[in-house]
Amino acid sequence: MLQMKNVSKIYRTDTVETHALREFSLNVDEGEFVSVTGPSGSGKTTFLNIAGLLEDLTRGTYELDGRDISKLNDRERSKVRNEKIGFIFQSFNLIAQLTVKRNIELPLHYLGWEADKSAERAAALAEEVGLTERLDHRPAELSGGQMQRVAIARALANDPHVIFADEPTGNLDTKTGNQILDLLMRLNAQGKTIIMVTHEPAIAERASHRLHMVDGMIDREKTEVP
């Protein structure tokens, strides 16, 4: 499903080169749950941004669902992102002025869905994440765990092939964080591919495929056989 081979990412200024990824190679099969750990500056977020088509790679190859991403222009990349990818962020990235319903519907707006169909999809996803009674609330009226549930529902709106989660439990207390992880694992059990960056070892250990990064490279990798 996702294949990176010898991927490098170099950030350049007039005086400095920073190698965020170094000859990074990874295969992720459909339906896997992958956790990525490592110290600050190890390249975790850069990997996630490249995998999620938010940044370009400098060298190497990246294929998603058999398609060579490096050969796509900006419009084609945006189309792939809208159709195949869902994002969950540590800071939730909800729009404060919009209700829960409208936040969930947002990706569908960009896909050109009709209003009644979008509303039906938002209601179904709110029920799936346990927020049916909060559809008309705004983010300021929600707890951190509820906001993250909205973010997960929004990530699912376009029925993505893969969900990228960047520290999805980082702003939550332990109990709420475990509830969010339980929800992600339930989605994985339903067939969703999930790639999650986390700094919490106990959270990372629950994934079936675990990577630890150092200096832009995979330092350790372990896959549990079902």
Asked if residue 57 belongs to a domain, the reply is no
Q: What pLDDT is stored for residue 31 in this prediction?
A: 95
Strands 2-12, 59-64: parallel, antiparallel or unpaired by DSSP?
A: antiparallel
Task: Grade residue 36 by pLDDT with cuts at 50, 70 and 90.
Answer: very high
Asked if residue 47 belongs to a domain, the reply is no
Asked if residue 198 belongs to a domain, the reply is yes
Q: What pLDDT is stored for residue 110 in this prediction?
A: 85
Residue 188 domain boundaries: 30-42+74-221
Residue 124 sits at the vertex; the CA angle it makes with 121 and 130, to the nearest 5 degrees, is 140
Asked if residue 201 belongs to a domain, the reply is yes
pLDDT tens by residue, 175-223 = 999 999 999 999 999 999 999 999 999 999 999 999 999 999 999 998 8
Asked if residue 7 belongs to a domain, the reply is no
Asked whether residue 225 carries a pLDDT value surpassing 80, the answer given is no
Asked if residue 174 belongs to a domain, the reply is yes
CATH code of the domain in which 146 resides: 3.40.50.300
Q: What pLDDT is stored for residue 71 in this prediction?
A: 84
Number of domains in the chain: 1
Handedness of CA 53, 4, 90, 226 (dihedral sign): positive
pLDDT tens by residue, 59-68 = 999 999 999 9
pLDDT tens by residue, 114-149 = 999 999 999 999 999 999 999 999 999 999 999 999
Q: What pLDDT is stored for residue 226 in this prediction?
A: 62
Asked if residue 181 belongs to a domain, the reply is yes
Asked if residue 69 belongs to a domain, the reply is no
Q: What pLDDT is stored for residue 223 in this prediction?
A: 87
